[in-house]
Amino acid sequence: MPKAQWEAAWAIGMNSTQAMRRVILPQSVFVSIPPLANSFISLIKDTSLAAVITVPEMFLAAQRIVSVTYEPLILYIEAAAIYLLFSTVLGKVQNRLEVYFRRYE
């Protein structure tokens, strides 16, 4: 944030903590929400850290069941639907956060 933001907050009588909470952070959060949320969604979909929500195990379990039942289409569609559900929910949360913090724009 430009130094003028700090100076404006101090000019109306805010101390550093108030300026940070009421002026600087709302503007900073608005700018940082989209890239952070996109990175988090990519993390969920792409990395081994998604093991916290058992995404990799979901495909491993689907492969094991397919080897017994020989019906891969249904199981892989279910696994894809769960991925889609996670991505959709996280995308909607991101949109709501952006709208919430856009009020400071």
What digits encode the pLDDT tens for the residues 75-96?
888 878 887 888 888 889 988 9
| Total of domains in the chain | 1
CATH of the domain at 96: 1.10.3720.10
Q: Is the pTM of this model over 0.75?
A: no
Domain that holds residue 28: 3-102
Give the model confidence (pLDDT) of 49-62 as tens digits.
Answer: 455 555 556 677 77
DSSP string, 8-77: HHHHTT--HHHHIIIIIHHHHHHHHHHHHHHHHHHHHHHSGGGGGGTHHHHHHHHHHHHHHH--HHHHHH
